[in-house]
Amino acid sequence: YGMIFIETLVYVVKEGKVLLIRKKRGLGAGYYNGIGGKVEDGENVVSAAIRECREEVGITPRNLEWMGLLEFWNYEDDRVESVHFVHVFLARDFDGTPRESSEAEPIWFGIDEIPYNNMWEDDIMWLPKVLSDKRVYGRFEFDRWRLIKSEVYEVIPSK
Ligand code: 6U4
Ligand code: NA
Ligand code: NA
C-alpha cells in the first residue's frame, strides 16, 4: 500500500484577482497552483497552510476560510502508489508582500484569466466553485499521473 499525505492548498483572493504560484520544483513543477504543501508532524492543517504561505511566497494569510477537501488517489497499474488528502482554503487578506522563493514564483491572475491549461487537469472542475464561495469535495484517480476518474460535489451548508 502506498503513502498517505495530508496537504494544504491556499487561494489568496483580493481585488478581483487570485494569487497563484508557478511551482519551480517537485510535484507539478512548471504548473500554476495554489500555495501549499504537506502537513508536518506536530502541526494542524491551518498552521501548515499558514507556514506554506510564508515559506513559498513570504506572506501571512489573515483569515483562512476552509473551502473543502480533495482526494487524489494515484495508481501505478492496480496498486495505490499514494493518496493525497488536500484541504483547500481561501484567504481574502494577508500581511506582507508576495515574493519569489526557491520553490515558487507568485503571480496575480484576474479571476477570468486563470491559466487552467497550465494547471492540474482537475483544477477546472472545482476551483471555479471555490472562487464563487462554494465548498467542495472532490475525489480524483490518477494512473501514473494521468487523470482517469473524477467526482466533484458541492458541499451543502448545514442550517
Ligand atoms: P516538499 O518539497 O516535500 O515539502 P510540499 O511543498 O510539501 O513538498 P508537494 O511538492 O508534494 O508538497 O506539493 C503538494 C501540493 O500539491 C499540495 O499543495 C497539493 C498540491 N497538489 C497535488 N496534486 C494536485 C492536484 N491534482 N491539483 C491541485 N493541487 C495538487 O490543484
Ligand atoms: Na510547499
Ligand atoms: Na512542504
Q: Which of 6, 23, 27, 71 to mutate to test the pocket of ligand 1 (most atoms within 8 A of CB)?
A: 27
Give ipTM to 2 decimals.
0.90
**CA neighbor of 5 nearest in space, from 77, 104, 65, 74:** 74
Rounded to 5 degrees, what are φ and ψ at 23?
-70, 130
pLDDT confidence of residue 77: 87
Could you tell me which residues are beta bridge partners of residue 18? 13, 109
Q: Model's pTM, two decimal places?
A: 0.95
Ligand 2 centroid to residue 157 C-alpha, Å: 30
Which atom of ligand 1 is closest in space to residue 37's alpha carbon? Answer: 7
pLDDT confidence of residue 28: 85
Write out residues in the chain with pLDDT < 70, as ranges: 1
Give the whole-angstrom CA distance, residue 55 versus residue 99: 10
pLDDT confidence of residue 48: 98
Pairing of strands 79-91, 64-76: antiparallel
Q: Which ligand is nearest to the CA of 146?
A: 1
* C-alpha distance across the termini of the chain, in Å: 39
Pocket of ligand 1 (CB under 6 A): 7-9, 26-28, 33, 36-38, 72, 84, 86, 120, 122-123
The predicted-structure confidence for 102-137, as pLDDT tens digits, reads as follows: 989 999 999 999 999 999 999 999 999 999 999 999
pLDDT confidence of residue 141: 98
pLDDT confidence of residue 159: 79
Q: Which of 9, 51, 64 to mutate to test the pocket of ligand 1 (most atoms within 8 A of CB)?
A: 9
Residues 6+ apart with CB under 8 A from 87: 6, 7, 8, 9, 45, 49, 66, 68, 69
Cell numbers linked to 10: 491556499
Could you tell me which residues are beta bridge partners of residue 109? 18
